[in-house]
Amino acid sequence: MIRTWTLEDETQSLVLASRDDRLPQVVYWGPRLPSDEARTLAEAAARDVTGGMLDRNPDLSICPEASQTFAGQPGLLVRAADGTPLVPRFRYVEVRTAPGAVDLVWRDDDFGLTYHARLALDPQTGMIAARAAIEADEAVLLDWLAAPVFPAADACLEMIDVSGRWCGEFALNRVPWVPGIRLRENRTGRTGHEHLPLLYLPEAGATNTGGCVTAFHYGWSGGHRMVAEELPDGRRQIQFGHAGRTETAPGRRFETATLYACRSDRGLNGCAVSFQRHLRDRILTWPKPDAPRPVHYNCWEAVYFDHALPELTKIASRAAALGAERFVLDDGWFGRRDDDAAALADWTVDPRKYPDGLGPLIDHVHEEGMSFGLWFEPEMISPDSDAYRAHPDWALGHADQTLGRRQMALDMSRKDVRDHLYERIAEILSAYEVDYIKWDHNRVLPLPDGAQTRGTYALLDRLRAAFPAVEIESCASGGGRIDFGILERTQRVWLSDSNDALERMRIQHDAALLLPLAVTGSHVGPRRCHTSGRMLDIRVRAWVAAQRHMGFEMDPRELTEDEAEVLTEVTAWWKRNRDWMRQADILRLDSADPAIIAEEQLAADGGRFVVFAGKARSSDQIVPRPLRLTGLDPAARYRVTLLNREEAPAGLSRGATALSVGPVTMSGQALMHHGLVLPWSFPETMWVLEGARL
């Protein structure tokens, strides 16, 4: 007997089929099918059997079962409380369907285990959200539970997953598909720079702008495990779940986080847009949804731990004059925090630095027309802190563990720890008008543990319920905690500690595979970048920040008059455009010149766009190749203006490119298939083009 269920929107169908009460398999996920095809497909999808094989192919189900002699990694590894492995055979109980969603319940009576899965397709964003849970009649030990398992297309030659480092987030790895496993397991206890839970599967020939692609993101902040496996029979499976064995206690219910899955016929960009829109429009909750994203000023790279009210007030005034609208006081305001060796968990204002509390600084910030944000690193404790001296048992891990940034993590699974943090943070938020928290997390955990992440989520949820108007930024030494789990509770990510505009341009280009402008912090750093030592012109620094949620992070008193003028102008441009750019899709362009990192931000109604074409280094060819745009209406005409054309170096750009002298009008077809011819430019610069549909 075959049962089928179909999830579909205007562009895609996903067909689940269960045979003889066994767990269902995804037998089709692709462009939308005719409505009567699910059953035919369920029958037609079965592959042949030949010599050297079992007499039937074990199901590549949403939770592949070892009990079926499945030749790959099973979707569930569970043991009885005494350690005996349990190898369940799940059988159909019921399936509830609602528009766009299926809830599946399967059961193994021998071991008293019930398997639940839910898959829901959002027709606006094209995103499938999939979760699984296991319930046990008696407490069991869980070693591994995969979110509902998807097959990967046979036409993929490679996969793209993500690693990275401090100041080098979102490093894309292109790995060939070969028989066996590509395993990514993050045992650091936080999402991390090194293991972002994101996977793109381009079919052969797919680019940013064309071809079939599927993509997956696991929305969990405690470290994930990904298995991309090609079975001996050629089928491929994608599994995502929490890092293995991070449930340390026996329990009767375990659940995965949400696995977000999407597909595209428009290249990587189709999936990137699904992630960007789904995050922005479905996952994030904005305290003031209609308020424009404010231009930030963050004082970290201006003063570090050296807080002095007279200096900070001068800095705040200068930042406001440049266009800042929110002043964020970073690390160093609490306890005896004169460097990174002390005071984490002592969340009271340092009276040596602020004898009258934070009030005078906040009043000044408000007088300058800015709102006020404050840095915390709640999940950490310094061994040199009053909190640690009073409660050494609050720290996670052994007392003689290797420290990270000279600090330990707090055990967030403990209610007394969470209560302490809630009370300290709530006291500050009640005493002062704080509209923003920068929430940092600067070390890996001594051991990964799911309870730690749940504890952090619970603290965030409690604070947000009590202070719903406060926005929160997720930071972890830059972009060390970026995932849809933390973003259910926060509104911005500090993408990287690298304010080097060239590094940032690359990082934010690749981060657009997951993140929209609205959440992606990007700041203009000091003239000499503190993390790379590189000196970059204010123009490229300002435009790179203007590609995302803009801010400043240098001591603004270092700016020359010319630099201040450029920054003020670019900031004013950003403010004029931020509202439509917030709703725009960020489309990565396929530049024929590898030195050019280019993107197009296309308005939701398709009526306007901006193109940022950054030249990361000198090109190999002598003059620029045309840059092809994407996503336009082929029949429409667009007027394109090179906004900063006065930056073309006189003498070295001496040809007659149309854009150097004024706007050009071209059809969408020509823009997408011939492209824009840009003037020659110096390396480490960025062209900015505005386009309007006529």
Residue 577 in contact with residue 601, Cβ under 8 Å? no
DSSP 614-661: EE-S--SSSSPPPB---S--TTSEEEEEETTGGGS-TTTS-S--HHHH
Residue 375 binds to ligand DGJ (criterion: CB under 6 A): yes
Q: Residue 407 or residue 619: which is nearer to ligand DGJ going by CB?
A: 407
> Judged by CB under 6 A, which of 194, 440, 600, 684 binds ligand DGJ?
440
Count CA within 13 A, CB hemisphere, residue 642: 22
Q: How far is the C-alpha of 599 from the C-alpha of 612, rounded, in Å? A: 6
Contacts of 560 (CB under 8 A, 6+ apart): none
Q: Is 477 in the site for ligand DGJ (CB under 6 A)?
A: yes
Q: Encoding tokens for residue 250?
A: 């026996």
Residues 613-652 that bind ligand DGJ (CB under 6 A): none
Here the tokens at position 92 are 């159909």
**Can you tell me whether residue 570 is helix, strand or coil?**
helix
Q: Which of 325, 497, 563, 600 binds ligand DGJ (CB under 6 A)?
A: 497
Q: Which of 404, 410, 334 is nearest to 374 (CA)?
A: 334
442 binds ligand DGJ (CB under 6 A): yes
Q: For residue 385, what are its two tokens?
A: 């802190």
Least distance (Å) from ligand DGJ to the CB of residue 387?
17
Distance from CA of residue 475 to its chain's centroid?
12
d(CA 299, CA 438): 12
Residue 442 CB, nearest distance to ligand DGJ (Å)? Answer: 5
Is residue 520 close enough to count as binding ligand DGJ by CB under 6 A? no
Residue in 59, 330, 368, 600 binding ligand DGJ, rule: CB under 6 A: 330
Has 593 been annotated as catalytic? no
DSSP three-state, residue 451: helix
Tell me the angle at which helices 561-583 and 538-546 cross, rounded to the nearest 10 degrees: 20
Q: Which residue is nearest to ligand DGJ (CB)?
A: 331
Contact residues for 25 (Cβ-Cβ < 8 A; gap 6+): 16, 17, 18, 45, 59, 60, 61, 62, 151
**Quick one: which segment of 11-19, 114-122, 471-479, 666-674 binds ligand DGJ (CB under 6 A)?**
471-479
- DSSP label of 460: H
Contact status: 436 vs ligand DGJ (CB under 6 A): no
Residue 473 binds ligand DGJ, judged by CB under 6 A: no
Nearest to 573 by CA among 323, 327, 318: 323
**Between 65 and 440, CB nearer to ligand DGJ:** 440
* Contact status: 379 vs ligand DGJ (CB under 6 A): no
Asked if residue 380 lies in contact with residue 343, where contact means CB atoms within 8 angstroms, the answer is: no
Minimum separation from the CB atom of position 383 to ligand DGJ (A):
17
Considering only 65, 108, 122, 331, the residue that binds ligand DGJ (CB under 6 A) is 331
Catalytic option among 108, 440, 500, 510: 440
Nearest CA-CA partner of 155 in 137, 177, 134: 177
Residue 475 Cβ, how far from ligand DGJ at the closest point, in Å? 5
Is 239 within 8 Å of 261 (Cβ atoms)?
Answer: no
Q: Which is nearer to ligand DGJ, 76 or 486 (CB)?
A: 486
CB of 496 to ligand DGJ, least distance (A): 8
Q: Is 440 a catalytic residue?
A: yes
Positive or negative torsion for Cα 556, 561, 562, 565? positive
Residue 300, interface with ligand DGJ (CB under 6 A)? Answer: yes
Catalytic choice (330, 449, 497, 555): 497
C-beta closer to ligand DGJ: residue 165 or 693:
165
Examine residue 475 and tell whether it contacts ligand DGJ (CB under 6 A). Answer: yes
| Residue whose CB is less far from ligand DGJ, 225 or 523 | 523
| Minimum CB distance to ligand DGJ, residue 347 (Å) | 14
Name the one range near ligand DGJ by CB under 6 A: 51-59, 408-416, 472-480, 682-690: 472-480
Binding of ligand DGJ by 494 (CB under 6 A): yes
Residues with catalytic roles: 440, 497
Binding site for ligand DGJ (CB under 6 A): 300, 330-331, 375, 440, 442, 475, 477-478, 494, 497
